[in-house]
């Protein structure tokens, strides 16, 4: 049976999680700021729909990975170092995951906005 109350409660808890990550994670706030800049640049340069799709996908990927990274770090912090010496390595790998995605998103943004900003060299 579908419960409207339960449905809206799930949104409440999800928003509560987003607010928590925003308040506690500096990198998440940096990603939000960078995303706002990218969205304004997209409107300013009137980029194509396929470019919007790619940018939105990259923005969402970074947000999701940052939230997953935060969740894993908190779980590892609860266990560390009692459980295993790999606890610190797990945290480093999770941070590396976000970094790689962030670098990829910068490359995508450079390829999309580069021609508008004359960032490509012409021969």
The CATH number of residue 87's host domain is 1.10.287.3610
pTM of the model: 0.85
pLDDT of residue 123: 47
pLDDT of residue 87: 82
- Any domain includes 97: yes
Total domains in the chain come to 1
Judge whether 61 and 87 are in contact, CB under 8 Å.
Answer: no
Judge whether 97 and 65 are in contact, CB under 8 Å.
Answer: yes
- Any domain includes 44: yes
Q: Using 50, 70 and 90 to split pLDDT, how confident is the model at 38?
A: very high
- Any domain includes 10: yes
Q: Which two tokens stand for residue 9?
A: 């409660």
- Any domain includes 122: no
- Any domain includes 123: no
């Amino acid at each position: 049976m579908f419960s409207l109350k339960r449905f809206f409660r799930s949104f409440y808890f999800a928003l509560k999680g987003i607010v928590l990550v925003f308040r506690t994670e500096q990198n998440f706030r940096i990603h939000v700021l960078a995303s706002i800049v990218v969205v304004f640049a997209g409107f300013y340069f009137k980029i194509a729909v396929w470019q919007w799709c790619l940018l939105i996908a990259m923005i969402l990927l970074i947000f999701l990975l940052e939230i997953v990274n935060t969740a894993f770090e908190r779980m590892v912090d609860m266990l560390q170092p009692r459980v295993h010496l790999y606890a610190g390595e797990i945290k480093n790998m999770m941070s590396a995951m976000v970094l790689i995605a962030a670098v990829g998103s910068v490359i995508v943004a450079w390829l999309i906005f580069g021609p508008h900003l004359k960032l490509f060299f012409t021969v």
